[in-house]
């Protein structure tokens, strides 16, 4: 049973929500869980802070890669962050819940016309890999015992790198795979399956323990409902 929110508390929890592709699903989850009351359009603007009187939480709308930072340092009590971000830039936050939204994959990909792509790992040839996921990429290839790699860090347009001859492989976030297909690329291996997670500031676990526990319970219940459980 969904736990009632405390209407008499004077201080609202602050939740960091990522801009972009997950934002709408994140807001919908918070709405169905009873924390926000307004339609998506009321949160879809250039404003970065939303604190409507009838909402039970305040929202900070920030770039996805910044969500864990806001939470770790206490600017937000909790946040919604992709697992890829948490793996690439680990932060000292509590991660109690997989929200089941923003599903995608971090994959190794290459030109679809290259034969025996995986064999290239062990060929002894120096390989160049373009990605913004430097840590994830290094960990993946280290576990395979592959050291003959050079990582080229890019912040966008990663699919252009193999086409232009910049690299042999890319490591990137993939949802449907359509962008890879359009650029004559295909996945070689999946590194990690990604969903958005609830993360919590460790100090808030103590100072707002009741509100945080209620947030986790209500979100967990809504996730079960979304899954038809």
For the chain, domains (ranges, CATH) are 13-102+195-226 (3.40.190.10), 104-194 (3.40.190.10)
Contact 134, 222 (CB under 8 A): no
What is the distance between the alpha carbons of residues 17 and 55, in angstroms, rounded to a whole number?
A: 15
Question: If you average pLDDT over residues 46-52, what whole number do you get?
Answer: 90
pLDDT at 118 over 90: no
Candidates 38, 77, 111; CA nearest to 216 is 77
Three-state secondary structure call for residue 192: strand
Please give the structure tokens belonging to residue 174.
Answer: 């993939």
Q: Over the stretch 4-27, which tens digit does the pLDDT of each residue have?
A: 555 445 589 999 999 999 999 999
List C-alpha distances in Å: 86 to 30, 69, 170: 21, 10, 20
Candidates 98, 101, 90; CA nearest to 27 is 101
Q: Over the stretch 135-161, which tens digit does the pLDDT of each residue have?
A: 999 999 999 999 899 999 999 889 999
């Amino acid at each position: 049973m969904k736990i009632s929110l405390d209407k008499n508390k004077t201080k609202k929890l602050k939740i960091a929500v990522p801009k972009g592709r997950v934002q709408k699903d994140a807001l919908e989850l918070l709405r169905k869980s009873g924390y926000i009351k307004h339609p998506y359009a009321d949160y879809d603007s250039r404003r970065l802070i939303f604190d409507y009187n009838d909402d039970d939480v305040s929202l900070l709308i920030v770039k996805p890669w910044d969500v864990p930072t806001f939470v770790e340092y206490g600017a937000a009590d909790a946040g919604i962050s992709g697992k890829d971000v948490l793996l690439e830039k680990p932060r000292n936050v509590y991660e109690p819940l997989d929200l089941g939204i923003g599903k995608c994959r971090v994959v190794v990909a290459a030109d679809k016309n290259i034969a025996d792509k995986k064999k290239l790992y062990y060929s002894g040839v120096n390989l160049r890999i373009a990605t913004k996921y430097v840590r994830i990429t290094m960990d993946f290839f280290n576990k395979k015992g592959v050291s003959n790699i050079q990582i080229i860090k890019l912040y966008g347009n990663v699919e252009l790198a193999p086409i232009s001859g910049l690299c042999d492989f890319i490591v990137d976030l993939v949802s449907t795979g359509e962008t890879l297909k359009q650029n004559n690329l295909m996945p070689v291996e999946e590194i990690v399956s990604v969903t958005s997670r609830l993360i919590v500031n460790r100090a808030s676990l103590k100072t707002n323990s009741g509100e945080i526990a209620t947030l986790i319970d209500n979100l967990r219940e809504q996730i079960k409902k979304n899954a038809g459980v």
